Amino acid sequence: MKTVLFACIHNAGRSQMAAAWFNALADRTRAAAISAGTEPGTRVHPEVLLAMREVGIELEGIAPQKLTDELASGASILVTMGCGETCPYVPGLRRLDWPLEDPKGKSVERVREIRDDVKARVLDLLEAEGFR
């Protein structure tokens, strides 16, 4: 079983969407996802909660978590969310970077577009890695 770690700075938007999509779409006997941030926020952004709820994925009650060495040690792939130089780096992990816009404070229409972009990227990753 492989673990994919989706990481960003606040773990309150993009990385939460990516992990939720991954866990909803992956063959859970082959892979699972976790998400974390280098400076976790206090909650998932409300606009992200709404956009994900619209597609049947509930993130209410999910708390952003700190990216720690211990958390990263169980992962095989690190996917960062386009945060540039501030993106986390974990030695030894294969890293992919997805240049995604931060949904914080965006209109629900824009957050839906970001959500759908994240889903498409997750589907591509699942296919490429054989996790479906």
User: What digits encode the pLDDT tens for the residues 46-104?
Assistant: 999 999 999 999 999 999 999 998 999 899 999 999 877 777 778 888 999 999 999 99
Stated pTM of the model:
0.95
What order of strands is seen across the sheet that includes strand 77-80? 31-37, 2-8, 77-80, 94-97
What's the pLDDT tens digit per position in 99-113? 999 999 999 999 999
Handedness of CA 44, 48, 50, 53 (dihedral sign): negative
Domains of the chain (ranges; CATH) run 2-129 (3.40.50.2300)
Q: Parallel, antiparallel, or unpaired: how do β-strands 94-97 and 77-80 relate?
A: parallel
